[in-house]
Amino acid sequence: MPILNLGNDDFESASTNMLEMLQQQRSDLLGSTIDVHVGIGLLAGAEADRLAQKYGANDARVQLLRDRSAAAAARVDALTVEQEIALVRTPPPPTTGALIQGRVTDMTQRTAGQVIVQLIDEKGQPVAGIEPVTTDDSGYFAFELTPDMVKAAQSKLSVLVRAADIRLVPAVVEPVAVTPGATLMMDVSLSAAELERLRLRLPIAPDKTTVKVQAARATTAEESAADASDATTAAAKSEDQAGPTNAAADEVASGKTAADKAKAKDKPARKPRSPRKR
């Protein structure tokens, strides 16, 4: 980066421009690094799927690649937070007034979205003379207080967050006491329930496709069990119906055998023939 010495009169603006360029370069480098890790995660996941299909899900290489894909996703999340912070442009430090600044995020430090932030006192009432501000794309907000505003803020201050017509006081926020010349941080982390209430996140619904598949499998299993039960019942009925017929056939066969024996007994025995005389 070229640095030109344009004299003391231009030092402040030159240093400001140089810092702006450095912040922009940092944001661009973070974006490129995020793209690299996204690619690594996708490649590791695709290779894990290929090996699982060829050698089975229990193959040691499959789990190793799954872990690498998950690690790449975690790095992407962390780098995305850093990139959002790199987009923040803070006001200059106050001399006689005060500066209250922070970010409105979710529990993973990702920006919650664009919301309106208002300073409130310990009674939950808006502080007179201090207008609400809107967060930027990174969730950053800043209140630049004049000396008169600092004098008016006698109690500890907190914030109220508003999105559209919905307002709430975040549960996780530390009230601050304002003093002249102070630069105060007030980071606001919204829970999942608070994000849903502000309509900044959609509620997580159950996977209907999975539910339908499970229901279909259960129905198929019930139908198969019912068919097996019907087949068993039909077989039992067939045996019951066949029982009398078989018994009658046995009785007929037994009767024939007895009759044949009686006939053989009543039939006179043949006399032996006498030998012929020569």
Question: For 58-85, how does the pLDDT look when each residue is reduced to its tens digit (9 = 90+)?
Answer: 999 999 999 999 999 999 999 999 998 8
The three-point CA angle 64-70-203 to 5° equals 145
Query: What average pLDDT score do residues 89-114 get?
Result: 89
Contacts with 20 (C-beta within 8 Å, 6 or more apart), sequence order: 89
Give the model confidence (pLDDT) of 2-22 as tens digits: 555 555 556 777 777 888 888
173, 160, 105, 104: which is closest to 130 by C-alpha? 160
Query: What average pLDDT score do residues 84-100 get?
Result: 86
pLDDT of residue 154: 76
187, 191, 178, 40: which is closest to 101 by C-alpha? 187
With contact defined as beta carbons under 8 Å apart, do 195 and 201 qualify? Answer: yes
Total residues found in the chain within this entry: 278
pTM, entire model: 0.62
pLDDT of residue 17: 83
Write a three-state SS string for 32-72: HHHHHHHHHHHHHHHHHHHHHHHHCCCCHHHHHHHHHHHHH
Residue ranges per structural domain of the chain: 12-86, 98-197, 205-257
Contacts with 201 (C-beta within 8 Å, 6 or more apart), sequence order: 106, 192, 195
Query: What average pLDDT score do residues 16-33 get?
Result: 89
> 98-197 belongs to which homologous superfamily?
Carboxypeptidase-like, regulatory domain (2.60.40.1120)
Under the banding of pLDDT at 50, 70 and 90, the label for residue 213 is very low
* Mean confidence (pLDDT) of the chain: 80
Structure token digits, residue 242:
């066949």
